[in-house]
Structures are given as C-alpha cells and as structure tokens.
Amino acid sequence: MSKDTLSVTDNRTGKQYELKIENGCIRAMDLRQMKTDAEDFGIMAYDPAFQNTANTKSAITFIDGDKGILEYRGYPIDQLAEKSTHLETSYLLMNGELPTKAQLHEFTDKITHHTYVHENIKSFMDGFRYDAHPMSMLASTVAALSSFYPEAKQVRNKEVRRHQMTRLIAKMPTLAAFSYRHSQGLPYIYPNNDLPYAENFLTMVKSIGKPNWKAHPALVKALDVLFILHADHEQNCSTTSVRVVGSSEADPYSAVAAGITALYGPLHGGANEAVLRMLREIGDKKNVPEFIKKVKDKDGDKKLMGFGHRVYKNYDPRAKVIKKACDEVFEVTGKNPLLDIAVELERIALQDDYFVQRKLYPNVDFYSGLIYEAMGFPVDFFTCLFAIPRTVGWVCQYEEMINDNEQKIARPRQVFTGQRKRDYVAIDKR
C-alpha cells in the first residue's frame, strides 16, 4: 500500500526514519532528528541558490515550467493579457478574485488618488547625478518613501499595510517617470488623475511642451499588456528578496526597495537591457551564427541574453504574448530593425543541440526590450518598466508572508568551510 512518507536509513548509525511527504515536499527540519549522537547538530539540507527548496506556500501565482503554464490566481496569463487591464489584474492578485464593476471602480479610484509624491521627493531626485541609472534612482526613492510614511512600520495592521500597498502601486509610475525625466534633463510632469494607469505613466514620461499631449492608444494598450505579463512571477529573485527583507518586519517600502535592487541585475530584470545591448553588438543577421558559436564555446562568459529560465524549461508563455504585441506596436512605430536579428537568433538557437538539450527558450525579456525601444524608451530605463508592474506582485507576496503563521525571520544556515580557533598574531610577527 502506498504511503505519503519517505523512509530514510542513516547509514552512519543504522537508524531508520519515516518522513512525511506533503505537497511533494519533505520538511527540511525533519532531517534534524538524524544525529550521530546527542551532541551532533543533525542533518541539514544544502541547497545553494534554492534550486530545490520551497521557502513558502503561496496561493498567488502558479507556474508549470515544463509545460510553459503561468496563472495568476488560477487565470491563465494569455486570457488576462487579452481581456483584462493591469489594475483589474492587480485587484485579482491582491484579493484573489476578479472584481465586480463597483469593486474595480473603487480600487481604480484609490490607486488614481495616490499617484502624487511629496514635493521633497523631487528635491531628493534632483540630488542625483545627471547620468544616474534610473533603477538606482527608483530603488533609492522607494526606500526614502518609508521616511515619509512612518506609520508603514505597523506591518501587522491590515488597514495600514493595505494603505502602503496602494501607495506603492500608485506612486511607482510617478517615481519611474521622474527618474526618466531627471536623466533626460526634462521637467517633471505631475500625474493626471483623469488618465488610466498606463496612459498616465506614458504621459508623465513623454509629454513635452503640449498640455494636451495624447499617447497613441495602441501603445497604451501594449504597455498595459506588458504590465499584466510582468505583474507577478511567484518566488523569483526579487520577490524572494522582498520576502526575506519583509520577514524582519521591515516596512513595505524598504522591502520593495530591496526587490528593485534585485531586479536591477542582468540575470533578472536587467536582462531586457542586456538583450538590447547584445542585439546591437551583433549588429546584423549575418553575424548571428558567429555569435551563437561564441555563446556555445562560453567565450568570454557570453550568454544568449533573454534565453533560459530557472523554472521554464519550455517556451516562456509571456514571451509568446509579447511576440504578438510586437506586431501591434511596430504597426504604429515602424519595425525595430533589431527584430530581424532577434528572430534569427531565436530560429537558430531553437534548432541547436546546445540550447535544445539545456531546454533554453526565449524568456519574457527577449522581445520586451524591442517594444520598449520602438516606443522610444532609452535602454537603461527598461528595467524600470518591469519594476512598475511587478510592484503589485511584490506587495501581495509581502502581505502573504506577513499573514503566514509558518513564516519567521528568514535566516538560512551555512556549511562552514573556513579556519577555526586560531590565536591572534601581533602585526610585527606576521
């Protein structure tokens, strides 16, 4: 008869143990009973980069990496991208269910009326060098928000916490737009509360000299779809950073600032920026085979940026939607000349044994940069365009962690490999 347990024999002692299997997991703490003697600490699990460790139970986002499935609260990503809006999806992520008309109206109204930032934030932004990276500006100003809302420290008070979550979702486009305007030497444009979320952001970024400047509806729609695709992605590097920082009961602004800094890295959200630089470096379709060869030879640590994923071992479902969105954007902006190189890279890579065997497919960042560039965003602003929509994912995951009775301050163990017990040597004797 089958049982949901795992039998383990410790060959050091000959003792046998039966460990419970729940949701396909054993509890790492159950290993600690396995000791050689009473003094022994007990067995730990060693798992650098958490490759096979679940750190939490979560009901927000489901991914089946082998099948290429992504669902928010059970709804497939392609349906949300086609039929929903970023704010409706945000409500879904935060509350578990799609809103009624009245609920969506109330939620939209709340977000819309928290888009302004304290005037001192502008002076804070002015302090950055003219060429500061927009992601460093975004991370720092979000961290600074914590000093503007000291009540945010009441992380266990639901009403207060939800207020900060609203503020973060509402203010992130404003802060990102301000960081863009600063880096371009342009005056800051205040939010216009008559505009929907994505359009308001585009207007704060792009409008200049014309009070009635209007973003192209097809570009607004494409940006909103990109926002939906980026809203959450379960326990990725930045979300885990938010959870780890939040586990010390740091306020949501400080935790989200940590998420932004994690997202900044080129192996995570910074990949969209790296893809564009890579495509420019390749320069022409005819250079693709030579570039692929360098990647396979691991020449100078070259990687095919925008390819591969820790979880997806199949086509990233978000990349499929983005590829389609490219056509709609390019109809308005004209085709990005780098698209041909990207398509050729994908075509060759998907036929090549190196990529096939390692199950390396395009991820969300492979095509998103092409859209951002066609929309006229500078490359170093791309990751901010990821951080804006991911904010809702971060705050939902933060809240789920706070409400989870099993969670404690995050504190991994280590396997110590250094020297022990040495006597101090005076400097003239070394």
Site residues, ligand ACO (CB under 6 A) = 267-269, 271, 295, 303-310, 358, 360, 363-365
| Between 161 and 318, CB nearer to ligand ACO | 318
Which one is catalytic: 30, 118, 216, 268? 268
Q: Residue number with the shortest CB distance to ligand ACO?
A: 308
Residue 113 annotated in active site? no
Residue 365 annotated in active site? yes
Which one is catalytic: 224, 232, 251, 365? 365
Environment class of residue 210 by beta-carbon count within 10 Å: exposed (0-12), middle (13-18) or buried (19+)? exposed
Which one is catalytic: 86, 133, 230, 309? 309
Q: Please state, as a whole number, how many other Cβ atoms lie within 10 Å of the Cβ of residue 88.
A: 18
Minimum CB distance to ligand ACO, residue 140 (Å): 22
Q: Please state, as a whole number, how many other Cβ atoms lie within 10 Å of the Cβ of residue 383.
A: 29
Is 182 within 8 Å of 381 (Cβ atoms)? Answer: no
| Between 246 and 308, CB nearer to ligand ACO | 308
Half-sphere exposure of residue 85: CA atoms within 13 angstroms, side-chain side: 14
Residue 114 annotated in active site? no
Minimum CB distance to ligand ACO, residue 217 (Å): 27
Q: In what order do the strands lie in the sheet with 75-76?
A: 61-64, 69-72, 75-76
Minimum CB distance to ligand ACO, residue 268 (Å): 4
| Between 163 and 318, CB nearer to ligand ACO | 318
Minimum CB distance to ligand ACO, residue 301 (Å): 9
Spatial distance between the Cα atoms of 162 and 166, rounded to a whole number of angstroms: 6
- DSSP-assigned letter for residue 399: H
Spatial distance between the Cα atoms of 107 and 111, rounded to a whole number of angstroms: 6
Minimum CB distance to ligand ACO, residue 326 (Å): 17
| Between 242 and 305, CB nearer to ligand ACO | 305
| Between 107 and 382, CB nearer to ligand ACO | 382
Residue 416 Rama label (left phi>0; alpha psi -120 to 50; beta): beta
Spatial distance between the Cα atoms of 59 and 52, rounded to a whole number of angstroms: 19
- DSSP-assigned letter for residue 313: S
Active site amino acids: 268, 309, 365
